[in-house]
Structure 1
Amino acid sequence: MSALFGNYGQRRAQIVKGQGTVVEDANGKQYLDFTSGIAVVSLGHAHPAIVKALQAQSEQLWHISNLFDIVGQEKVAQKLVADTHFAHAFFCNSGAEANEAAIKLARKYTGKHHIITFEKSFHGRTFGAMSATGQSKIHNGFGPLVEKFTILPFNDVAALEAAIDDSVAAIMLEMIQGEGGVNSVTPEFATAIATICEEKGILLIVDEVQTGIGRTGTRYAYEQTVLKPTIVTLAKGLGGGFPVGAMLGIAELYDTFNAGTHGTTFGGNPLAMSVAEVVLEHVFEPAFLQQVQELSHYFVEQLTQQLPSSYTIQGKGLLLGIGCGETEVAPYIAQAEEKGLLLVGAGPTVIRLLPPLTVSKSEIDEAVAILKTILL
């Protein structure tokens, strides 16, 4: 029996090596990785610039407490807030931690505890983030959740308007529900949220843990909508594979998180910041983001042309989904792995496609060819 807990449903392949979009298992078999570690390996596996930065930093300083100034944090924060309405950043180690920080910040700033979230959302597995998540399978077995979260139907303007009262501190949502089925916010819903937040003085928390850092073809997915969040949370692609999370906030929130109100031992350590700086130098370049948009267009075009119309193509950028109606996708994912393509689901009936942002058109062609053999 393993010395590990069995909380992960592990796949057959034991991956031991990766370069770009290609990974290799312990038996020497190669796969196209269209999971990217679940939207994490944004520049592909073992990107030379990331490797170089991490090696250089490892020879200088791995860790120092946040009681001291960590130079890299200011550099990365400046890159994250540049040309946005945000003013400040807080660094942590994961998306769940970033969302916990956002929940705490919103509650402390407003003095209110009521936060609205949505069905099929996913915000993390720590208690606050889990309570915000709109999926019962994430809640089951853990007893009473954190109070004052109201979970509403996604993209339902009437339900949202009916739930708004003076007790609401914040609305919290994803631009695309990556775990919940690759469901995008509709323009109508985004407009309704923007209006409600402005008229009622309600904070808006946008969880960009999966959609941020170029994944949808812009720096942040909210930039493709009318929304202007008060707080944004980030992780996954920010570190290109190294654990790092972040929360961005507007200037008015600065005094809420004064010394001692919130913290983390490892968050924003020099290793993480050295990697995040390199990722942002690449991904935030306009030409890079334009390439992501072009690759997305090509990918969607190939899927639409080569798969039957019974399958729906969902999402934006390189966060795409293949909706399979009522058909469970787990067998498809297992078959793809056998044929050399790594995929992940988004709920029971959607195949999620998350290649590195550096994927090539030829690799997209190869993935589509494998998908055809499985889905036709």
Structure 2
Amino acid sequence: MSSLFPTYQRWELSAKSAKGCTLVDTNGKEYLDFVGGIAVCNLGHCHPNVVDALVKQAETLWHVSNLFQIEGQEKAASVLAEQSSGDYVFFCNSGTEANEAAIKLARKHTGKNHIISLANSFHGRTLGSMAATGQSKIHEGFGTMLPSFTYAKLNDIQSVQEQISSETAAIMIEVVQGEGGVRSIDQTFATQLKELCEEHELLLIVDEVQTGIGRTGKRFGYEHFHLSPDIITVAKGLGNGFPVGAMIGKEHLKAAFQPGSHGSTFGGNPLAMAVVNAVLETVFDESFLAQVEEKGKKFQGYLQEALQQSAAVKEIRSLGLITGIECHEPVAAFITKARELGLLVLPAGPNVIRILPPLVVTEEELQQAANILAQVVGHTTATVH
């Protein structure tokens, strides 16, 4: 009997080791890992640059306190600020914590409480980030949510506009709703959102926890939509498996986060910063990002070709290397069958298969995954069972 709280619907799979895009279970079976810790291992498992940076740091210094100057923080913050629309960085340990920091900063800077987020969004599971999440199933059983969040419709600017009041501090979005079915904002909505924020002097918060650090073929997903967020949150791919998150904010927000306003015991510790700097050095290379964008286009083509005859498939949606295959029926059986055939993917809601290959994936591995999915989704549910 397990002594763990049963908070996860676990698979019958235990990993023994992993390298690159390949994961090996305790029985010795190999899998093509297109989950990557849920968009975490962007550089694949045990990337040599990341491993080397972590080992060297582990032999030097693990932890002090944020009372100390930490050189790795300064280096990583400088890169994130230079390569984003922001100017200052706060380091923490996860995407949820980054979003909590964003919510606090928006409220403190504006002196207002109301924040508009989107239906079917996902921003985390702490009380603040859970309230920001536009999914009732995430809220159930936890009592009254923070009353300062309301939820607009994706790509419906009127529904956003109707919720703006004199107490509105910010609008908080994901450019691709990962947990919400791999659904993207469109350019018209992005442009109108930018105009609304300027007109009403609202902060724009973009949650890049799943889409940031190269996942979409850009450093940040918002770059595809010509946005300039006031606040950006990142995590997941930032540490390639090491727990770390960051909130990036513009110059005019600096005064709101002075000593004592926010903090984190472990945020920005030397181990995390060594990993982050190795990740950023690798991912934020122009040629690397161009390859990611090209791989994403090729994978979309492979999937379209492999699944075009499938009656089960409703739509294939992708941006860079985040892909959703929406089906006319529940996908749980498809995901199980793919796992049996050696491909790891996951759901994004009941009817969407979410695919998150490492950014270092090869074209051969992408083709292999498409072939497996053709075997799985290309059949009827009756065949899969």
Q: Is the 1:332–1:375 Cα contact (8 Å) retained in structure 2? A: yes
Q: Quick one: distance in 2 between partners of 1:273 and 1:215?
A: 20
Amino acid aligned to 1:101:
A
Residue equivalent to 1:56 = 56
AA at the equivalent of 1:97: E
- In the TM superposition, residue 83 of structure 1 has moved relative to its aligned partner by 4.2
Instruction: For 1:251, give the aligned amino acid.
Output: E
Corresponding residue to 1:367 among 366, 369, 374: 369
Secondary structure class of the residue paired with 1:41: coil
1:250-329 alignment, distance < 5 Å: 250-308=250-308, 310-325=313-328, 327-329=329-331
Does the 8 Å contact 1:337/1:343 carry over to 2?
Answer: yes
* Residue number in structure 2 paired with 1:333: 335
Partner Cα separation in structure 1 for residue 41 and residue 2 of structure 2: 28
| Secondary structure of the corresponding residue to residue 196 of structure 1 | helix
Aligned to 1:233: 233
Aligned partners of 2:303 and 2:133: how far apart in 1? 30
SS of aligned partner of 2:162: helix
- Aligned partners of 1:106, 1:159: CA distance in 2, in Å? 21
2:345 pairs with 343, 346, 349, which one? 343
- Kept in 1, the 8 Å contact 2:175–2:221? The answer is yes
Corresponding letter in the other structure for 1:330: A
- Structure 1 residue runs of 5 or longer lacking an equivalent are none
- 1:194 is matched with 194
TM-score, structure 2 length as denominator?
0.96
- What is the identity, as a one-letter code, of the residue corresponding to 1:200? H
Q: TM-score, normalised by structure 1?
A: 0.98
Question: What SS does the corresponding residue of 1:38 show, helix, strand or coil?
Answer: helix
State the SS of the aligned residue for 1:311. strand
Map of 2:163 onto structure 1: 163
Contact 2:207/2:233 (8 A) holds in 1: yes
- Secondary structure of the residue that 1:272 maps to in structure 2? helix
- Distance in 1, matches of 2:303 and 2:108, equals 46
> Does the Cα contact within 8 Å between 2:300 and 2:318 map onto a contact in 1?
no
Indicate the residue corresponding to 1:130 in structure 2: 130
2-structure distance, mates of 1:308, 1:85: 39
Residue 152 of structure 1, CA deviation: 1.5
DSSP-derived class of the 1:96 partner: helix
What SS does the aligned partner of 1:163 have? coil
CA contact (8 A) 1:194 1:226 kept: no
Q: Point out where structure 2 has 5 or more consecutive residues left out of the alignment.
A: 379-385
**Any runs of at least 4 consecutive aligned residues in structure 1 with deviations exceeding 3 A, and if so which?**
none
Query: For 1:31 and 1:153, how far apart are their aligned partners in 2?
Result: 37
Question: 3-state SS of the aligned residue for 1:218?
Answer: coil
CA contact (8 A) 1:115 1:148 kept: yes
Are the equivalent residues in 2 in contact too, given 1:112–1:169 (CA < 8 A)?
A: yes
Q: 1:238, CA displacement in angstroms?
A: 0.3
Deviates more, 1:304-313 or 1:20-29: 304-313
- Pair 1:205-2:205 in alignment: yes
Residue identity over aligned pairs, in percent, reads 53
Decide whether the 8 Å contact of 1:77 with 1:88 is kept in 2.
yes
Q: Secondary structure, in 3 states, of the residue corresponding to 2:197?
A: helix
CA RMSD across the alignment: 0.9
Contact 2:83 / 2:219 at 8 angstroms: preserved in 1? no
